[in-house]
């Protein structure tokens, strides 16, 4: 039928203008719109329930309107009020589930999006339907920056599975033998400690922003793994790269650059944030590719120094064995994996540690109890070690409670249905974006008593031993679970215990506590705050 309509349109377009032609064009447009409506209605006939979408914008925009757009569209007084009491996307989506159930539909423009709420339905979708729901949507801005390669944003399939299996095994081995990361993490803390002590000597009692010190320490762990080198926090080249990554994330989420997802051609505009974004991409690419080239030139296959070396050795082995290119191993793919490790690994771990310090400031009795446990088990004569984990249950419970309260990637990374499937009585069409609301799992009153209260003891049994709960999933669940989960757990434990052993933190007396809703972006970061640091 649509072929016939196209032929009719060609005939009308080439004919002299007349009232008959105008009427025919009118009929053509009506029939075309009816066909489109019929096709859309049929495709979405049995999707999960949800609010009725508006034309063009759908019904999802109000939850994810970037600050720069909200500021333009909202009167100043109302905008300031909305900044003080914002409705975070993960909270708004959780509220919608009370109206439409734990499985419901919303539209981002014309894009069907299905939201999963609560542990049971997320576990069901991500494990029992993993082959269908493990894909990634093709988001224009992300695709332009990542070329659909790497681990985090790459589409699900044979190449991704091989690359992830290799990366997961390699990262896991960094906890062993000569590749042990514990000294590396402790060295990073030593730099943080030295800087905080220096500042305390220069101006005792003054407040300090911990962000640059924590970010540098965490980034250096990733750098040691992937690049085989550490950088001093004042190293100009390293600081430039960290600032570039932070700036790239910021303008990708909270600037007009996000409009590239609607109008991809905006990416090539020669001015404003669009030009800045291309510049950030160019500079980071040059930095990482230079380091990969240096590794290739000095590679000793018998003595790999870091992740890049191990990957290059595998690449050589695949080439010698004449393995088909379908394996995906290449220097280009390596480049995007390193980018994933840096950006995802630095941002999530840094923000989690910053949340931990903030919660210790707000709950000094918890901070004191953690310090007492560390004093009793570790003392002050040595740094905490991973071997202490089993004997610091309250400290571990505190780390887990902060992760439960904050969930730094509250909506996970969006998934996509790779084919049309039936799920819990509904039809999920191919190409549907799937959002697992991890925040809803950790704030579910049916599985957590008083879920909005900060209470580390919920992770301890009556004997004070640590409880492992299946619905504690801050790193996600299923085949797309965070690749760096074990590394992150090591960093969080060692950095937090070392900070608690060496310092006591409090908020400045004259400052109000920062809003606890956080800043929603690629991760959920705490709102900016400063602390007073007292050496112990």
pLDDT digits (tens, 9 = 90+) for 199-209: 888 877 789 99
How far apart (Å, rounded) are the C-alpha atoms in residues 226 and 216? 15
Query: In the structure encoding, which two tokens stand for residue 96, read together?
Result: 């919608």
**What pLDDT digit, counting tens, does each position of 109-134 carry?**
889 999 999 999 999 999 999 999 99
How far apart (Å, rounded) are the C-alpha atoms in residues 346 and 325? 31
Query: Above 60 in pLDDT, residue 178?
Result: no
Q: What is the pLDDT of residue 82?
A: 46
Mean of the pLDDT values across residues 326-334?
Answer: 84
Helix H or strand E segment including 426: strand 426-428
Q: What is the pLDDT of residue 32?
A: 47
The side-by-side arrangement of strands in the sheet containing 433-437 is 103-108, 111-117, 433-437, 415-416
SS3 64: coil
Across 370-374, 442-446, 519-523, least confident range: 519-523
Mean of the pLDDT values across residues 56-65?
Answer: 63
DSSP 523: S
User: Is residue 77 very low, low, confident or very high in pLDDT (cuts 50, 70, 90)?
Assistant: low
Whose CA is closest to 333, among 491, 218, 176, 166?
166
Q: What is the pLDDT of residue 76?
A: 55
Whose CA is closest to 524, among 419, 350, 408?
408
Q: What is the pLDDT of residue 63?
A: 55
Mean of the pLDDT values across residues 488-512?
Answer: 93
Pairwise pLDDT comparison (30 vs 407), residue with the higher score: 407
Q: What is the pLDDT of residue 13?
A: 54
184 is in an annotated binding site: no
Helices (H), 47-181: 67-73, 76-84, 89-100, 119-123, 130-133, 140-146, 158-173
**What pLDDT digit, counting tens, does each position of 41-51 carry?**
556 889 999 99
User: Is residue 30 very low, low, confident or very high in pLDDT (cuts 50, 70, 90)?
Assistant: low
Pairwise pLDDT comparison (519 vs 4), residue with the higher score: 519
First to last CA, the chain: 79
Q: What is the pLDDT of residue 181?
A: 80
Query: Above 80 in pLDDT, residue 273?
Result: yes
Q: What is the mean pLDDT of the chain?
A: 84
Q: What is the pLDDT of residue 64?
A: 55
- Taking CA atoms, 266 is separated from 247, 270, 374, in Å, by 18, 9, 53
Estimate to the nearest angstrom the gap between the alpha carbon of 179 and the chain centroid. Answer: 26
Across 121-125, 172-176, 218-222, 307-311, least confident range: 172-176
Mean of the pLDDT values across residues 335-353?
Answer: 88
Place of tokens 């922003």: 209
Q: What is the pLDDT of residue 317?
A: 87
Q: What is the pLDDT of residue 171?
A: 81
Buried b (16+ CB within 10 A) or exposed e, 497-524: bbbbbbbbbebeeeeeebeebbbbebbb
**What pLDDT digit, counting tens, does each position of 437-447 carry?**
999 999 999 99
Query: Above 80 in pLDDT, residue 96?
Result: yes
Pairwise pLDDT comparison (324 vs 229), residue with the higher score: 229
Q: What is the pLDDT of residue 219?
A: 87
pTM: 0.86
Q: What is the pLDDT of residue 216?
A: 87
Place of tokens 């590396």: 184
User: Is residue 342 very low, low, confident or very high in pLDDT (cuts 50, 70, 90)?
Assistant: confident
Tell me the HSE value of 268 on the side-chain side, using a 13 A CA sphere: 3
Mean of the pLDDT values across residues 347-371?
Answer: 96
Query: Above 80 in pLDDT, residue 233?
Result: no
Pairwise pLDDT comparison (69 vs 404), residue with the higher score: 404
Mean of the pLDDT values across residues 333-342?
Answer: 89
């Amino acid at each position: 039928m649509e072929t016939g309509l196209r032929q009719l349109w060609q005939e009308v377009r080439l004919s002299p203008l007349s009232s008959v032609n105008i009427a025919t064009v009118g009929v053509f447009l009506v029939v075309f719109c009816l066909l489109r409506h019929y096709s859309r209605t049929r495709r979405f006939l049995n999707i999960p329930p949800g609010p009725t979408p508006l034309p063009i914008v759908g019904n999802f925009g109000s939850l994810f309107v970037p600050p720069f757009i909200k500021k333009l569209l909202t009167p100043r007084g109302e905008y300031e009020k909305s900044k003080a009491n914002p409705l975070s996307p993960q909270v708004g989506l959780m509220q919608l589930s009370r109206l439409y159930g734990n499985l419901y539909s919303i539209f981002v423009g014309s894009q069907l999006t299905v939201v999963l709420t609560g542990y049971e339905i997320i576990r069901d979708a991500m494990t029992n339907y993993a082959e269908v729901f493990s894909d990634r949507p093709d988001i224009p801005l992300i695709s332009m920056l990542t070329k659909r390669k790497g681990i985090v944003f790459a589409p699900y399939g044979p190449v991704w599975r091989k690359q992830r299996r290799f990366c997961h095994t390699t990262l896991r081995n960094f906890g062993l033998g000569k590749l042990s990361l514990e000294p590396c993490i402790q060295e990073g803390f030593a730099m943080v400690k030295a800087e905080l002590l220096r500042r305390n000597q220069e101006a005792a009692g003054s407040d300090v922003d911990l962000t640059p010190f924590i970010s540098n320490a965490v980034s250096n762990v990733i750098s040691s793994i992937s690049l085989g080198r550490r950088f001093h926090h004042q190293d100009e080249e390293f600081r430039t790269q960290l600032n570039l990554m932070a700036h790239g994330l910021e303008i990708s989420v909270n600037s007009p650059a996000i409009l590239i997802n609607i109008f991809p051609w905006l990416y090539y505009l020669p001015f404003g944030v669009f030009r800045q974004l291309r510049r950030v991409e160019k500079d980071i690419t040059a930095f990482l590719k230079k380091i990969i080239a240096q590794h290739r030139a000095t590679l000793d296959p018998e003595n790999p120094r870091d992740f890049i070396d191990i990957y290059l050795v595998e690449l050589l082995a695949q080439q010698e064995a004449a393995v088909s290119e379908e394996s995906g191993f290449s220097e280009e793919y390596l480049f995007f994996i390193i980018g994933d490790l840096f950006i995802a690994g630095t941002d999530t771990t840094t923000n989690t540690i910053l949340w931990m310090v903030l919660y210790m400031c707000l709950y000094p009795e918890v901070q004191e109890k953690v310090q007492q446990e560390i004093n009793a088990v570790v003392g002050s004569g040595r740094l905490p070690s991973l071997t202490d984990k089993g004997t610091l249950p309250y400290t571990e419970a505190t780390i887990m409670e902060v992760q439960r309260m904050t969930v730094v990637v509250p909506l996970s990374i969006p998934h996509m249905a790779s084919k049309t499937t039936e799920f819990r009585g509904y039809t999920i069409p191919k190409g549907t974006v799937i959002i697992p609301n991890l925040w809803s799992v950790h704030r579910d009153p049916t599985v957590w008593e008083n879920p909005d209260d900060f209470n580390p003891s919920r992770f301890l049994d009556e004997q004070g031993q640590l409880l492992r709960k299946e619905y504690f999933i801050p790193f996600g669940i299923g085949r797309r679970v965070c690749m760096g989960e074990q590394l992150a757990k090591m960093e969080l434990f060692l950095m937090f215990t070392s900070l608690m052993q060496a310092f006591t933190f409090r908020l400045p007396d004259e400052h109000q506590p920062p809003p606890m809703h956080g800043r929603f972006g690629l991760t959920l970061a705490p709102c900016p705050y400063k602390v007073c640091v007292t050496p112990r």
